[in-house]
Structure 1
Amino acid sequence: MVRGNGPVCGAKTRQEESAEHCGLPAGWGTGHVGTGRCKLHGGKTPGQKVKAAHDIVEREVRAVLAELDVQPVDDPLTALMQLAGQVVAWQAATAVLVNRIGDEIRYEGHAGAEQLRAEVQLYERAMDRANAVLSSIARLNIEERLATISEAQAERILGAIDAVLTHLGITGAQAAEAKTVAARHLRSV
């Protein structure tokens, strides 16, 4: 909820006879001023702190996304392969973090409860995502599809080269040699 100069807490007040909502600035009296509930309405609870942190990151990501010149994906197969590269790199980066913490994968949290380290949780999620993306690629047989697309494109290019050679009156051995050179070059690219 936004009132006046910025977002407000917006929590329903205890006054049952009215449908009033808190008008204090969002996050007032907390470590997340400008986002979430104020300290009088649970803004300092662990759940609200996590939600506020999530909201702040989401707002930052939306701001960055608004600055990007986002274009539609013309080639989803190649985009999925690029995503797979990013996911595997992220998984490798989180593995480095887990290796740095050594045997201390757990710690004692609030009220003595044993907690799993955030690095381990990130690594587990990264492994799950890598598995999902790589399984999709394997299931969709993307490498073969990309190869088929590349071959079809190469055939169209060679057809265009053949048409140009015919138009220029180049036939016989010269035309065959030109096609061979073009095909060799296309395979190397």
Structure 2
Amino acid sequence: MTSLRPEHADDGKPKCGAQKRQGAPGETCTFVAGWGTDHVGTGHCRLHGGNTRTQRAAARAEKAEAEARRVLATLDVAPVADPFAALSTLAGQVLAWQEAISHIVNKLGDRVRYEGASGAEQLRAEVALYERAMDRTGQILGMIAKLNIEDRMARVTERQADALVSALEAALAAAGVTGTAADEARKAAARHLRAV
């Protein structure tokens, strides 16, 4: 329970920061952020509108962002070694998400709209979520198409095959395999690479 007397943020706690109506120009409230509300530590204090619906929503968003930043700071992030594969994986995840949401929307049938508290017709959140998923899918797939990843991956594969052939040639030469036996070994390697 919050105290009746506002607590000043002089001990390093975040401040309300709202512009004071009285006092010097630019002077801001020094009470603890969110004092007198259910979101102490973020947003404006109760005296400066901290309990309005908009302020409560903004404080929840601020808390969520702070938590996300805290989690992000603890992650052990490694650089992406293969950006093409990472983008392909992301595309797969986005497509899977879109398909999952499409099943939910399909179950709604003709109930994609409802009457809100004000009496106005509203579009269900699931439909908006599906539209965003479709947009995201289009963006990722468009990005992949612009990058021409398939051709690049084919060139990478060709380079790998060339490196394998060179290694095979070196191994055959080192083993003293020449003539027909070397040709047969090359053909067998080529068949295996095509199969893989």
**TM-score tier (shorter):** 0.7 to 0.9
Counterpart CA distance in 2 for 1:153 and 1:180 is: 17
Matching of residue 87 in structure 1 with residue 69 in structure 2? no
Aligned pairs (5 A) from 1:93-108: 93-108=100-115
**Residues 55 and 184 of structure 1, relative CA distance in 2, 3 Å threshold:** farther
The aligned residue for residue 28 of structure 1 is 35
Query: What is the CA deviation profile of residues 14-46 of structure 1, one whole-angstrom value per residue up to 9, with x for unaligned ones?
Result: 224254322333333444333222333233334
Which protein shows a greater Rg? 2
The aligned residue for residue 157 of structure 2 is 150
Among all aligned residue pairs of Structure 1 and Structure 2, give the percentage whose two residues are the same amino acid.
Answer: 55
Gap regions ≥5 residues in structure 2: 1-8
Matching of residue 162 in structure 1 with residue 173 in structure 2? no
The aligned residue for residue 3 of structure 2 is none
Gap regions ≥5 residues in structure 1: none
Q: What letter corresponds to residue 89 of structure 2 in structure 1? A: Q
Q: Number of residue pairs matched?
A: 188
The aligned residue for residue 10 of structure 1 is 17
Counterpart CA distance in 2 for 1:90 and 1:136 is: 18
Aligned pairs (5 A) from 1:40-189: 40-109=47-116, 111-189=118-196
TM superposition score normalised by structure 1: 0.81
Q: CA RMSD in A?
A: 2.6
Q: What letter corresponds to residue 137 of structure 1 in structure 2? A: I
**Residues 106 and 172 of structure 1, relative CA distance in 2, 3 Å threshold:** same
CA apart distance, 1:164? 2.3
Q: What letter corresponds to residue 33 of structure 1 in structure 2? A: V
